[in-house]
Amino acid sequence: MTTLNHSAGSSAMTLLTAVFTPFRPDGGLDLDVVGDQADALAAWGTRGVYVGGTAGEGASMTTAERMALLERWCEVAAGRFDVIAHIGHTSLAEARDLAAHARDAGVQAISAVPPYFHRPPDAAAVADFFARVTQAAPDVPFIYYHIPGVTGVTVPASEVLTAARDRIPTFAGIKFAHDDLADLQRCLELADDRYELYVGSARLLLATMGIGARAAIGSAYNFAAPVFLRMIEHVERGELREARACQFLAQSAIDTAVAFGGELAGFKAAANLVGPDCGPCRPPLRSPGPAQVAELRDRLDALGLLAVAPSR
């Protein structure tokens, strides 16, 4: 099994990007854009991409679409950065099919949210479900995706980690998209350098670095990566005042984007302004209209985000 080492580098924090899925105006997949996305991300040095997750609207796509999207990402990422495939599904059989396909496509890891309609009641149920899913990809590292605000599965991630390490041979870590820093700290202590812990909230990146986090996966890095990279450099030099200023600037950019459609539609609109145009979100999400996009552009420009965008 491949060993993930995103926390083992010399940097104080390693950034991976939860990528948006490019859709045409009619809602169809636009796979031609994926190559441009990869080029833009490689330009600032992302260590990997997380495909088909929350930002990628995987739950709004068919299994066939998810597979086609992943295949394209594996093609364009080869030799440049890692690919983590989100294979979560409410159906065990579909999740297993997605896992097996991801293995065959050549991903470095698979990841999944727990079932979010008929929810697992405790950590053992979460781990047992994914033990069955990961049998379909027995040599691929598995990362549990903890995002209770979306799934409604509120089992603490630290409890899932404890259960998973004994039940899932390929268990490799957790993507932690929650604001419970005490639970994250427990996860870091339990992981003890054996498992990866990915911070899933860019809003809390600086705070999580303070308790030992070394890797992150997020969609804000599609449009605000230069600011976060500067912040990390300041931390490495011990310049905490400057690091806090960068986190504040990034937070302002995040809040600005959220005002134009929330953390998915707003973030995607912001990313479209600083990088390749990935089109609208799928219903029921509502993308901002032309007037709103123009206002968003002005506000991001006032923050300096467009001037430092790597692919503008």
- Give the model's pLDDT for residue 11: 81
CA nearest to 260, candidates 298, 232, 230: 298
Give pLDDT tens digits for 22-37: 999 999 999 999 999 9
What pTM value is reported for the model?
0.96
| Catalytic site includes residue 268 | no
Q: Is the pLDDT of residue 139 over 60?
A: yes
Q: Running DSSP on this structure, what letter comes out for residue 286?
A: -
Q: Is the pLDDT of residue 2 over 70?
A: no
Residue numbers in the known binding site are 217
CA distance 19 to 57: 10
Give pLDDT tens digits for 208-266: 999 999 999 999 999 999 999 999 999 999 999 999 999 999 999 999 999 999 999 99
| Catalytic site includes residue 145 | yes
CA nearest to 143, candidates 117, 118, 108: 108
Residue type, 111: S
Catalytic residue among 50, 116, 144, 145: 145
**Residue 183: φ, ψ to 5°:** -65, -40
Domains and CATH numbers, the chain: 14-224 (3.20.20.70)
- Give the model's pLDDT for residue 7: 81
Residue numbers in the known binding site for pyruvate are 217
Catalytic residue among 50, 116, 144, 175: 175
Give pLDDT tens digits for 140-175: 999 999 999 999 999 999 999 999 999 999 999 999
Range 129-139 average pLDDT: 99
CA distance 96 to 100: 6
